[in-house]
Structure 1
Amino acid sequence: MSTGAWVVVAAVTLALVLGLWRASTDGRFSGARAVHRTEAAEAQAPVDAAGATPAGAALVATVGGSLGERATLLQFSSAFCAPCRATRRVLGEVADLVDGVAHVEVDAEHHLDATREFGILRTPTTVVLDPDGREVTRASGAPSRDQVLTALAQV
């Protein structure tokens, strides 16, 4: 085999491995990460019992939404993102199905500070917040309805 053929085989193999890895992790919820709040966001959200404003509560207040009594599905999306539309539909369906769950969508392009603060690297990203606005878990990519319901069971 020539060198060119080996390069093609290696490139196809690498693309296949990366594609399979991404397909297996897309929409899967993982643990929460620390979020650093800005002073402006803290001023707009309620303060919890410990005296600190949860970052999720601050962002939900900033975009004009309200926290759910049980949980909030915070979706970071962008205008030209097809998976974002599918995620919006799934999260809206789950919010209608499960009592006390709210769905709040954040346009990542119009809220760049929050996007950076939450460490959002791609859209859609779904962050599950507890009733106080603290992050419980998150999924990068379009989660299925079953994945969202399983994540809500953690709250």
Structure 2
Amino acid sequence: MSTGAWIALAAVVVALGLGLWRASTDGRFRGTHVVRRPAQPLVEEDAPAPVTRPLGAELVATVGHTLGERATLLQFSSAFCAPCRATRRVLDEVTGLVEGVAHVEVDAEHHLEATRAFGILRTPTTVVLDASGTEVTRATGAPTRDQVLSALAQAGSHDMDAGTAS
């Protein structure tokens, strides 16, 4: 076998390995991400302390929606993203199945500050928020319906853990 054939074979094996890895991780929900708050405006000494809400709650209010009673599926999308359309259909289906869950889609290009604050690196990214707007878990790529339902179950158990902690 010639050197060129070995190089071609190695390239195919590496590409196949990367493709299988990406396929196995795409759309899976993996814990939470450290959310960076944008710089807070200066507050005068006599002014009352501002009420701080979770960043997810602030973003949902900014785009003109309300949080779901149980959870909110916050989807970061971009205009020419085919997986974003598939994700939108899956999340809409889940909100039809599970009561108290809202789906809010955010155009990552038009909300750059929020995209940066959430640490979004690619679209689609789905962030599951609990009832207060705190991030519970997230997935990059297009999740399946079953993956979203499992993430919502995790969000429900997160709410119960938070309730017992207080």
Superposition TM-score, scaled by structure 2 size: 0.84
Structure-1 residue corresponding to 2:140: 140
Q: Which amino acid aligns with 2:37?
A: R
Q: Render the CA deviation track for 1:71-103: whole Å, top value 9, x for unaligned.
A: 000000111111100100100111111111000
Q: 1:40 to 1:60 in 2, by over 3 A?
A: farther
Superposition TM-score, scaled by structure 1 size: 0.90
The within-5 A match list for 1:94-133 is: 94-133=94-133
Q: Render the CA deviation track for 1:11-53: whole Å, top value 9, x for unaligned.
A: 1111100000000011100101121122579xxxxxxxxx532
What is the distance in 2 between the residues matched to 1:136 and 1:2? 53
Counterpart check, 1:25 vs 2:31? no
1:153 is paired with a residue of what secondary structure?
Answer: helix
TM-superposed CA distance for 1:2, in Å, is: 2.0
Q: Whose Rg is larger? A: 2
What is the distance in 2 between the residues matched to 1:37 and 1:58? 11
Q: 1:88 to 1:127 in 2, by over 3 A?
A: same
Structure-1 residue corresponding to 2:87: 87
More divergent stretch after superposition (31-40 vs 60-69): 31-40
What is the distance in 2 between the residues matched to 1:118 and 1:53? 14
Q: Which amino acid aligns with 2:8?
A: V
Q: Which amino acid aligns with 1:132?
A: S
Counterpart check, 1:76 vs 2:76? yes
The number of equivalent residue pairs is 146
